[in-house]
């Protein structure tokens, strides 16, 4: 519990300092206004929709084989994450209802502390049930992220649409689309992306479950290259030097494919644990890179 509370307390201190001014600046952007208007509309409708709210908190330990997104010399690291979320779910009394979440998260890396970050996200949404076994969720979202390496601190907004179909009592499938526009303090770390994904899950018993998924995304991404490498010369793609990674960082458009698998156990109505693995391949003008990510987590629902 002490490890979980520490990231959350640190997260509040990091974000509180200067993010109100950044939020005001984001509101002034023309591209952000439609999202802000949609957020206000959904919040206005909240009072007329049936929903119930619940708290969830948890912690996870993880490993990433390529935290610097390198194309020629990956750096790996382990990390500890703690989070607390307030989650809204529709009551099911009608075909349409309120859903969404507000989350506070803090992550600390074992070796590269420059990557430690705090994140606040808000995603109010609407859920529609076209059929008893078919669920559609639509929501805009807003994120404020503070990173020890302030170049990577960012505000992001976007939207997502997801569907889930219950094939049988124990089997379900789903699909989703996400659009994200992230504005970082340094332009090299800013990006927009489009993401599509599919997943399938099985409840093997009342307690044990597993899920497998595939995701494809296209958009901008920062990538690191060795300062002695010739691949960075002449590209002119928002090249900058990163103190956090100790090498050059370049932003370019990439295609990314990810395959993930996870399994978990509901120990009772509130306590659960899980293990997850994701293999990601990234391709761009600078070349291809891969990463392997593991995480082992535990959570509690109130």
Q: Quick one: pLDDT at residue 94?
A: 80
Q: Which two tokens stand for residue 196?
A: 């599509």
Helix (H, G, I), strand (E, B) or coil at 25: helix
Phi, psi of 75 (to 5 degrees): -115, 125
Q: Quick one: pLDDT at residue 268?
A: 93
Q: Quick one: pLDDT at residue 30?
A: 45
Q: What is the pTM of this model?
A: 0.82
Q: Quick one: pLDDT at residue 270?
A: 94
Q: Quick one: pLDDT at residue 253?
A: 94
CA distance 91 to 95: 10
The torsion defined by the Cα of 234, 240, 241 and 247, in degrees rounded to 10, comes to -50
2-301 adopts what CATH topology?
A: Porin (2.40.160)
Which residues have C-beta within 8 Å of that of residue 65, sequence separation ≥ 6?
A: 74, 76, 290, 291, 292, 293
The answer to whether the CB of 245 falls within 8 A of the CB of 75 is yes
Q: Where do the structural domains in the chain lie, given as residue ranges?
A: 2-301
Which residues, given as ranges, of the chain have pLDDT below 50?
1-9, 12, 14, 27, 29-31, 41, 44-45, 47-48, 228-236
Q: Quick one: pLDDT at residue 232?
A: 46
Helix (H, G, I), strand (E, B) or coil at 20: helix
For residue 202, list its beta bridge partners.
171, 210
CA distance 81 to 57: 11
pLDDT (tens digit, 9 = 90+) per residue, 212-221?
A: 999 999 999 9
Q: Which two tokens stand for residue 191?
A: 């990006």
């Amino acid at each position: 519990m002490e490890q979980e509370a520490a990231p959350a307390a640190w997260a509040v201190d990091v974000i509180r300092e200067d993010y109100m001014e950044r939020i005001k600046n984001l509101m002034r952007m023309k591209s952000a206004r439609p999202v802000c208007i949609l957020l206000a509309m959904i919040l206005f409708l909240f009072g007329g929709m049936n929903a119930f709210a619940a708290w969830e908190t948890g912690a996870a330990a993880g490993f990433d084989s390529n935290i610097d997104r390198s194309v020629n010399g990956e750096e790996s690291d382990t990390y500890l994450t703690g989070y607390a979320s307030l989650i809204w779910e529709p009551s099911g009394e009608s075909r349409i209802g309120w859903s969404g979440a507000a989350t506070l998260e803090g992550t600390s890396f074992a070796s590269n502390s420059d990557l430690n970050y705090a994140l606040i996200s808000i995603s109010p949404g609407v859920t529609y049930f076209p059929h008893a076994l078919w669920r559609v969720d639509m929501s805009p979202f807003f994120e404020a992220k503070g990173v020890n390496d302030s170049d990577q601190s960012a505000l992001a907004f976007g939207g997502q649409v997801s569907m889930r179909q219950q094939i049988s009592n124990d089997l379900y499938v789903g699909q989703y689309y996400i659009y994200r526009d992230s504005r970082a303090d340094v332009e090299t770390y800013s990006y927009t992306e489009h993401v599509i994904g599919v997943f399938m899950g099985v409840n093997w018993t009342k307690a044990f479950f597993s899920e497998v998924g595939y995701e494809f995304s296209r958009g901008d991404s920062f990538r690191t290259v060795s300062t002695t490498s010739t691949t960075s010369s002449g590209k002119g793609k928002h090249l900058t030097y990163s103190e956090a990674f100790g090498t050059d960082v370049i932003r370019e458009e990439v295609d990314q494919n990810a395959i993930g698998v996870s399994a978990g156990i509901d120990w009772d109505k509130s306590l659960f644990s899980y293990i997850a693995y994701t293999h990601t391949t990234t391709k761009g003008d600078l070349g291809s890179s891969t990463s392997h990510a593991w995480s082992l987590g535990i959570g509690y629902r109130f």
